[in-house]
Structure 1
Amino acid sequence: MTTVLLAFTPGTLLKGVLVASSWTVAAVLDAPPESFVLAWFGIMLAVIDLRHHRLPDALTLPLAAALLLLQSHRLGEALLTAALFGGAHLAVRRCKPALMGGGDVKLTFGLGAALALPQLLPAAILSSVVTLALAALRRARAVPHGPGLLAATWALTTL
């Protein structure tokens, strides 16, 4: 008989605590379902982006699909906000490629679907503030923007 030993690293434990905490906050606030989806995908994507400066399509595309499906009751607005939020970030990427990666742009198309039209500008501002705070905490000039985008979207859909 083979015994399987599960090794919990401090990073795994931290991810679990973060997901559980964000789900608890969302549950207490009676948040919409997209808040829970954003919590789970957001923690995983933020950790990957912070470690590897990558947002894998294997996670960003299912997140976008799930958020769009959850917005079926307001599909027209969700498609519009996805196009506006993603399009604005695509324009930044085209003008200054060093400022933003392609994964960030793909992520914003999905995240835009979860936001209402009046939330787009606050999401852009809040995500920039979070990214600047990460840069200050890490004392680095180059930090990924994905965690800021994910945190801002989660906050705006949950709170």
Structure 2
Amino acid sequence: MTTVLLASFLGSLWTVAAVLDAPPSSYLLAWFGIVLAATDLRHHRLPDALTLPLGALLLLLQFHRLGAAALTALLFGGAHLAIRRVRPALMGGGDVKLAAALGATLTLPSLLPAAILSSAVTLAMAAVKRSRRVPHGPGLLAATWALTTL
């Protein structure tokens, strides 16, 4: 049943991206995003086997603005690393690597909205689940997909 729901959700994201004539990174984010979000929600882990290839592919897709993409990846990942260093219980290492990967698709002006939107999604999940322990990966993925696609 979970596979059917995830496949339906992926199809929906794919359709929205196609209708909006979204950049190729939107399709990559949709596919990896569903798999990573499901993994993070279920196991509270973001495996390197998924986050590292995602980061490399997203950087490759930004070849026309590679310097800016590397800078935003460094800034977005670095901000999440700073939070992890100050309060390790709030964020896992996978979230930091995912943030760096996702930062490659964001522009400099969209970094702050991405951070705010991803935090809002994570807080909303915590409110719905009535739990203080919710993964941040799905929020990061949702915010980045929305900002790069819509």
TM-score (norm 1): 0.94
Give a deviation string over 1:91-139, Cα, whole Å, max 9, x none.
0000000010000001011000000110000000000000001001111
Which of 19, 27, 49 in structure 2 is aligned with 1:36? 27
Q: Distance in 2 between matches of 1:36 and 1:55?
A: 19
Which of 6, 15, 18 in structure 2 is aligned with 1:24? 15
Following TM superposition, by how much is the alpha carbon of 1:47 offset from its aligned partner in structure 2, in angstroms?
Answer: 0.5
Look up the match of 1:88: 79
Which of 126, 130, 138 in structure 2 is aligned with 1:135? 126
SS at the partner of 1:152?
helix
Q: Distance in 1 between matches of 2:53 and 2:26?
A: 15
Runs of 5+ consecutive residues of structure 1 not aligned to the other structure: 1-9
Matched AA of 2:88: P
- Percent identity of paired positions between Structure 1 and Structure 2: 75
Spell out structure 1 runs of 4+ moving beyond 3 A: none
Give a deviation string over 1:14-71, Cα, whole Å, max 9, x none.
1100110000000000000000000000000000000100000110011101100000
Look up the match of 1:153: 144
Q: Distance in 1 between matches of 2:112 and 2:143?
A: 11
Matched AA of 1:20: G
Which structure has the greater CA radius of gyration? 1
SS at the partner of 2:46?
coil
TM-score (norm 2): 0.99
Pairs aligned (count): 150
Which of 3, 6, 12 in structure 2 is aligned with 1:12? 3
Look up the match of 1:99: 90
SS at the partner of 1:144?
coil
Matched AA of 1:141: R
Q: Distance in 2 between matches of 1:71 and 1:119?
A: 16
Runs of 5+ consecutive residues of structure 2 not aligned to the other structure: none
SS at the partner of 1:114?
coil
Q: Distance in 1 between matches of 2:84 and 2:121?
A: 19
The Cα RMSD (Å) is 0.4
Look up the match of 1:49: 40
